[in-house]
């Protein structure tokens, strides 16, 4: 009976059984992003759970295909894998593309909640829609150049449009734009036409918020045009905002198709909301009247490419200076603490030079005077015996003079008469006594 394996042992066994992502998708190591994306879509459609719900082998193949694509579709993860293999890629942080049409109601609610909280969630086009398009079972409406069509598409459904262009239009360039004033989420899709009249997904642009609307566009201008994948930077932002700054332009990738041929081309608008339908406006324009805009776009994107190269160089310099700054900050704190300790020791040494107890401060002036008098008396030289005798004689003479003054001091009659006058005047009684008459 085989021994029971722990979870860590099972995980290690799964790592050992992993196949090379290039081998899984059937592409070469120098394959372009478009080749990798096309290979993934074909295999994902083949092994999608909607088509193989009762086949566990197909389910495992779908997981393996999705895992491989998540590594090779991300420039940073692809570089890490090419350098150090699976050990350099964190499988736990791998982004999965969710097919909302295959999720249950509860899982859809959780996905919508995480999306509202700012967690980037990649969604994929429903496998049912892709299969119907591949088998030619979708209805396609005509779309005239310069015409704007406004409609509403249900969630996880798609509206298909066919645009016919001439050689002159190809030379001038084409732009397909979709906008939603209700800020709904949608995908703009472009399909290649197969020999059996079927349609295979070739390009996909997710909507993004631009001001008060959400929009998506595809530009076929005859020169390399780039797209910015915001999900690459959003995941880095969640992990490390500082590193996210240097990875901000990693999602700036060249579009797979830069030029269309004369003929009919099919676009589609896919509703990518979690619960409600999507209101949108689609329009395909000839870029003949946008000559200045074409030159401005080419110039700006060239500057962005230059800035991306400069940013990679700047990151190396920044990291080196940051290490030095951290070291200097640490040394600054250590030096400050060392100086404070030395000054404290110096003050303690100064205080050790006296044995007198510290005197308490008093706010009373009398205490200050008393203390200053005692201090002065203590500092004054001691008197001699002769001086003490002279002081005693002077004190005796002063006492005798004061006692004689007290004895000689008697009340005068004049003073008595004045006192009587004051009393009589105070009572206002004028009494006249006749001394001759007897009382």
pLDDT tens-digit readout, 341-372: 999 999 999 888 876 655 554 455 556 566 66
Question: Which residue would you say has higher pLDDT here, 38 or 413?
Answer: 38
- Across 207-259, where does the E strand assignment appear? 208-210, 213-220, 226-228, 252-254
DSSP string, 129-153: HHHHHHTT-S-EEE--TT-EEEEEE
Domain boundaries defined on the chain = 15-123, 139-300
Question: Which residue would you say has higher pLDDT here, 416 or 17?
Answer: 17
State mean pLDDT over 165-170.
Answer: 92
In the chain the first and final C-alpha atoms are separated, in Å, by 156
- According to the model, what pLDDT value does residue 304 have? 93
Per CATH, is 15-123 categorized as 3.40.50.10860?
Answer: no
Verdict on whether the full-model pTM lies above 0.75: no
Mean pLDDT, all residues of the chain: 76
Match domain 139-300 to its CATH number in 2.60.120.380, 2.40.110.10, 3.10.20.740, 2.40.50.1020: 2.60.120.380
The Cα–Cα gap between 42 and 158 comes to 19
DSSP string, 336-376: HHHHHHHHHHHHHHHHTT--SPPPPP---HHHHHHHHHHHH
Outline where 85-126 has alpha helix (H): 105-116
The Cα–Cα gap between 178 and 180 comes to 7
Most confident of 219-223, 366-370, 387-391: 219-223
Q: CB-based burial of residue 133 (10 Å sphere; 0-12 exposed, 13-18 middle, 19+ buried)? A: buried
- According to the model, what pLDDT value does residue 338 have? 94
DSSP 103: S
Beta-bridge partners for 175:
219, 285
């Amino acid at each position: 009976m085989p021994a029971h394996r722990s979870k860590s042992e099972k995980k290690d066994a799964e790592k050992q059984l992993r196949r090379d992502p290039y081998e899984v998708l059937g592409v070469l190591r120098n394959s372009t992003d478009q080749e990798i994306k096309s290979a993934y879509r074909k295999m994902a459609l083949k092994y999608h759970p909607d088509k193989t719900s009762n086949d566990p082998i197909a389910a495992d193949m779908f997981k393996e295909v999705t895992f491989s694509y998540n590594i090779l579709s991300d420039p940073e993860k692809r570089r890490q894998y090419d350098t150090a293999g699976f050990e350099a890629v964190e499988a736990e942080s791998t982004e999965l593309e969710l097919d909302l049409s295959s999720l249950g109601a509860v899982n859809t609610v959780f996905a919508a909640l995480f999306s509202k909280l700012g967690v980037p969630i990649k969604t994929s086009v429903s496998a049912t829609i892709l299969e119907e398009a591949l088998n030619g079972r979708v209805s396609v409406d005509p779309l005239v150049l310069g015409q704007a069509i406004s409609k509403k598409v249900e969630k996880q459904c798609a509206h298909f449009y066919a645009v016919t262009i001439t050689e002159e239009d190809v030379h001038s360039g084409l732009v397909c734009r979709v906008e939603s004033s209700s800020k709904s989420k949608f995908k703009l899709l472009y399909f290649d036409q197969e020999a059996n009249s079927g349609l295979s997904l070739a390009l996909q642009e997710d909507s993004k918020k631009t001001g008060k609307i959400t929009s998506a566009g595809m530009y076929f201008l005859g020169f390399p045009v780039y797209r910015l994948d915001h999900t690459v930077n959003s995941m880095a932002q969640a992990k490390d905002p500082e590193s996210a700054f240097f990875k901000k332009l990693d999602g700036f990738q060249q579009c797979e198709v830069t030029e269309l041929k004369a003929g009919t081309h099919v676009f589609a608008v896919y509703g990518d909301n979690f619960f409600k339908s999507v209101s949108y406006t689609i329009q395909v324009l000839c870029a003949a009247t946008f000559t200045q805009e074409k030159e401005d776009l080419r110039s700006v994107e060239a500057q962005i490419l230059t800035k991306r190269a400069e940013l990679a160089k700047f990151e190396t310099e920044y990291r080196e200076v940051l290490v030095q700054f951290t070291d200097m900050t640490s040394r600054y704190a250590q030096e400050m603490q060392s100086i404070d300790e030395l000054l404290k020791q110096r003050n303690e040494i100064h205080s050790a030079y006296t044995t007198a107890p510290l005197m308490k401060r008093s706010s009373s002036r009398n205490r200050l005077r008393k203390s200053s008098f005692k201090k002065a008396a203590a500092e004054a030289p001691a008197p001699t015996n002769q001086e003490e005798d002279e002081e005693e004689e002077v004190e005796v003479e002063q006492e005798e003079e004061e006692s004689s003054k007290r004895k000689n001091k008697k009340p005068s009659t004049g003073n008595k008469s004045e006192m009587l006058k004051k009393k009589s005047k105070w009572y206002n009684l004028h009494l006249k006594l006749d001394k001759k008459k007897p009382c």
